[in-house]
Amino acid sequence: MTLQVTHINNIKEFKGNALLYSLPKNKIHLKVEVKKNIYRKGPFCEFAEKLLGIKNTIRQDKTTFEITNISISTSYSVDTTQIYQIEAENTNSPFQLILSPEGLIQSAGFFSNEMIENQNFLTQNFVKNKDSVEKKPKIDTSFITVPFLKRYDLQYPTQEKAAEIAENIFLLRKDRKDRLDVDNQKTNVEGKALEVIISEYQFIEEKYLSLFVGFVFSETQTFRFEFLPDENRPITQKTLFRFSPSQGILSSQDVKGEPITIEIAKSSNTAKFDEYNDKAERWQRNNKKKKPKFNGLFYRIPDKSTVRLIKGKEILIQQECLISQLGTILNLPASIWKNENCVVDFYLELGNIKSIRKK
């Protein structure tokens, strides 16, 4: 049996016994995690050095952002520019295709019913929303539970309030020291119970100290971006978003941030396959050989491309990825199907040959 495989753009006649399949294309996905830090000065920060001898305090409210993690992954989908029609010379042939739900080729050959029933299909959908934001707050609860001593009397001077709290801090430290001093223990508390009591002293002291040194709490924001590489360009660059240390992730058009650019560079490791095909065609012309009457199944050989995310001259992350549409397209000899024991398996996500085997 012989097959004729034709790209849908080149079909001149449509027949009822024809089958269709498609090849995949790959999309790049980036997950960017940003840590948002919120700083708030304490109400008594101006007295921290005088009353407690602390110099390093938060003097003004501010919010900062930093990129903490970036990951790169790929997904696949149907390449609508690479759909093919298959016609069998012998319409009674048991030749069959196994396709994914999207129409991507997975296996082709002469299958028994048992083989088809045991075939595993890959049906995952990896479509993601662009520029989506997921927030997972990680808040320091001390900011919420800081004891402000209820409400202060407006006639009570601020410095005296600060002095009172500072005195409480010193009293806490003295009491804690006494409990740790074996000779001056006021109780017979020891072991794990003592650890719990000392920990509680530390907790209360930190709450009072935060009124002088300030408060910090953080949350992690997750942003997702996707990008489809251009098969017609050896190097593809695009500004995905902009970043500002004071405002975080911004749109690619917002000039208040520094541009973050994705760069995809082809390795062109499939160029030799194209050179081979060109040489074969020239040899056929020079030797007046006729081109084969039938085409076999078309498949892809992906390119191992380098994906980078760049901020200015700094490479934030670099990773190699197999990108099917940046590679080349070849076709199997049509005569391979003369052996009706032959089965060809394909990598669903890349469209290249996984194995050629006997059923």
CA 106/CA 339 separation, integer angstroms: 19
- Helices 158-180 and 191-213, axial angle in degrees (round to 10): 160
Paired residues of 242 in beta bridges: 250, 259
Strands (DSSP E) contained in 146-297 are 215-227, 235-244, 248-250, 258-265
pLDDT of residue 155: 42
| Tokens standing for residue 6 | 């034709």
CA 28/CA 242 separation, integer angstroms: 18
Tally of CB atoms within 10 A around 55: 7
pLDDT of residue 130: 37
| Tokens standing for residue 68 | 């903490």
Per-run averaged pLDDT (10 residues), the chain, 359 residues: 83 79 96 96 89 89 96 96 84 76 90 53 33 41 37 57 87 80 56 76 87 91 94 85 96 94 90 75 67 80 94 94 93 80 91 89
> Are residues 195 and 179 in contact, defined by beta-carbon separation less than 8 angstroms?
no
pLDDT of residue 119: 47
| Tokens standing for residue 248 | 């975080």
Instruction: Record the pTM.
Output: 0.74
For 143-148, which contacts have Cβ atoms below 8 Å and span 24 or more sequence positions? 143/40, 143/210, 143/215, 143/216, 143/217, 145/207, 146/207, 146/210, 146/211, 146/215, 147/207, 147/208, 148/43, 148/211
pLDDT of residue 269: 83
pLDDT of residue 91: 52
pLDDT of residue 190: 60
Residue 244 sits at the vertex; the CA angle it makes with 242 and 248, to the nearest 5 degrees, is 85
Supply the Cα-derived Rg of the chain in whole angstroms: 34
